[in-house]
Structure 1
Amino acid sequence: MQNLVVRGASSPAVAIPEDRPEGVGDVITLEGAGTVSTLRVTVSITHTYAGDLRVALLSPTGKRAVLHNRSGGEADDLHLDLTSEPPSLLAPLVGQPVAGLWRLTVSDNAARDTGTLDSWAIEIQTAT
């Protein structure tokens, strides 16, 4: 069996409720055998205060990697392009099964600023 590249993308354009730690989520369903060897995730969020945001990715087994945790201060918008190359915030997801529901969660943890989860994508190189 050879290593494969599995990709998924979503453009939910969903509003992120302000000052709600539970936030919003979106799911990409991936198919493929094996486990994660390397991983790349891109996220695009329109928001008036990036320092309010917390972004996490959950594997099909529920393993969590926090991709952004209320940094960036007053900057507008959040655009992430992360890989699993060490050191990486995605490291906890290496070795997870590829197939299943990959869930991105975004929460706004302060009042007054609003935003939208515009799009996100995931690309996995499998290990057999």
Structure 2
Amino acid sequence: MTIMKKLLLCCLVGISLFSCSKKEAENPEKESNVLLEEPQATEENKGEEKPEGLTLIEGADCLSCHKIDSKLVGPSYQEIANKYTEADVDKLAEKVIAGGKGSWGEVPMTAHPGMSKETAQKMVKYILSLKK
């Protein structure tokens, strides 16, 4: 690995760690990267029912590294859905909680140790529902 690639990798990891810790400091209502309150209905989303997994994802720090249909720091949710099946829900939920690296490259995914397995499973089930 060249020095430039190592430097870029270090910068990306640093940015993702900084953005995650900054969000926690700015949002005292959040605990362990999980939203404690349901988002309130607005005029734009009134009458629309979002999947619970999506609501949980939007309330956590997931979208700072993942997008639905394109790679950001981590893989897109559609890439994840296309790689895994419903049989992998428990394994993926544990990965969300424990964090890790290696499945999608060397950039590690932040651990979410305060997240319940049930919450992580709901998020994963939503992600897997995006399979094309």
* TM tier relative to shorter chain: under 0.3
Of Structure 1 and Structure 2, the greater strand share is in: 1
- TM-score w.r.t. structure 1 length? 0.25
Q: Which protein shows a greater Rg?
A: 2
More helix by share: 2
Q: Return the structure number with greater relative CO, CA threshold 8 A, min gap 6.
A: 1
